[in-house]
Amino acid sequence: MKAAAIRARPSAITTPAITAPPPGRMPRIDPSTVPRRIAGALSQMTNAQASEGAAYNRISALTSTSTNTVNNLTSSLSSVEDVDTAKAATELTMQQASYQASLAAMSNVLQLSLTQFLK
């Protein structure tokens, strides 16, 4: 029996091996059914325990994965936030100046005729 069925119907496990006697009488026990009922209840409990254990393991794995993801993202964010702003601005300005100089040189080359270029 699945764990969900056992949770929905707890009497499936707790069905007594002893039938309740009428008031004022001793309980009547059928010895032939006791071992079978105990074995059935143990089997149901083992199955429920296995299902719950598997669910717990899945949750633990997801928790571990989530923790690792949070740590990785925090580390990435930290490295982005730790950028030296002055150094980054200087490098950007140098790259822009280099780009503009190469554009100017290329525009001069494109304006030359073939004879001017070969001189």
pLDDT digits (tens, 9 = 90+) for 49-84: 999 999 999 999 999 999 999 999 998 888 777 778
**What is the pLDDT, as a whole number, of residue 1?**
46
Residues paired with 18 in a beta bridge: 29
Q: What is the pLDDT of residues 78-119, one digit of tens each?
A: 877 777 888 889 999 999 999 999 988 888 777 777 666 676
Rounded to two decimals, what is the model's pTM?
0.41
Q: Find the Cα–Cα–Cα–Cα dihedral 40, 45, 47, 50, rounded to 10°.
A: -160
Give the contacts of 117 (CB within 8 A, at least 6 positions apart).
Answer: 109
The pLDDT of residue 4: 55
What pLDDT does 77 receive?
Answer: 86
Phi, psi of 57 (to 5 degrees): -65, -40
64 versus 15: the higher-pLDDT residue is 64
Mean pLDDT in residue range 24-51: 85
